[in-house]
């Protein structure tokens, strides 16, 4: 048994794995380096999406200075910048286009929309209307508008917690005890007129 095991070990180590030749990535090309902001950044939150015209919309929550910027990069490399908010460092950031084509931004629980005149508050959020506390609110781009996605306490949507068994200890003994785990549920709400 020892000789068979040693032979199997040596036979497994003797073969060389075949590695396919790396090729060029498909449909990838690097363009010029673009400066999205005119000041040094680091540790910032970034959200990006592409509109129907091929423009990239980049929402940047800069830590220093505490500002949120909207940067538009056209397919030919033209960069346009505008400030969305000052004195703001949101912990969550979301962006999506609504069914009306307007760009919506979520800064923590502040909902803003891009109007012709600038960034304006865009009405209540679904959790404000429902009167529930949320965790990690975000916007998601859907094919026909935007989706609101957020986590809520399971009790708020009728999902109770559950009892689970936990244990600690070792081979010589341990303690097993029940533990009640509260649940959180992901809620997805489609954009409504």
| In contact, 104 and 96? CB cutoff 8 Å | yes
In this predicted structure, what is the pLDDT of residue 15? 59
Whether residue 58 is predicted with pLDDT greater than 90 in this model: the reply is yes
> Using an 8 Å Cβ cutoff, are 75 and 34 in contact?
no
Quick check: 12 pLDDT over 70? no
The structure's pTM equals 0.72
3-state DSSP assignment of residue 42: coil
Q: pLDDT tens, 79-114?
A: 888 999 888 888 889 999 998 889 999 998 889 999
Mean pLDDT of the chain: 84
User: CA–CA separation, 37 vs 18, rounded Å?
Assistant: 45
Q: 17-35, pLDDT tens digit by residue?
A: 677 788 777 777 777 888 7
What does the alpha-carbon distance between residue 59 and residue 54 come to, in Å, rounded to a whole number? Answer: 16
Question: What is the pLDDT, as a whole number, of residue 155?
Answer: 80
């Amino acid at each position: 048994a020892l000789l068979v095991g040693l032979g199997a070990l040596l036979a497994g180590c003797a073969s060389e794995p075949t590695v396919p030749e790396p090729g060029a990535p498909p449909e990838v090309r690097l363009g010029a380096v673009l400066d999205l902001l005119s000041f040094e950044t680091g540790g910032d939150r970034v959200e990006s999406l592409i509109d129907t015209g091929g423009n990239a919309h980049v929402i940047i929550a800069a830590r220093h200075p505490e500002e949120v910027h909207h940067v538009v990069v056209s397919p030919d490399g033209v960069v346009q910048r505008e400030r969305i908010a000052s004195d703001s460092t949101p912990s969550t950031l979301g962006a999506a286009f609504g069914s009306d084509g307007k760009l919506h931004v979520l800064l923590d629980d502040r909902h803003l929309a891009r109007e012709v005149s600038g960034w304006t508050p865009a009405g209540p959020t679904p959790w404000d209307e429902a009167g529930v506390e949320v965790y990690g609110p975000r916007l998601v781009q859907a094919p026909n508008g935007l989706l609101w996605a957020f986590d809520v306490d399971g009790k708020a949507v009728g999902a109770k917690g559950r009892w689970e068994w936990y244990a600690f200890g070792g081979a010589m003994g341990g303690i097993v005890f029940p533990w009640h785990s509260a649940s959180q549920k992901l809620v997805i709400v489609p954009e409504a007129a």
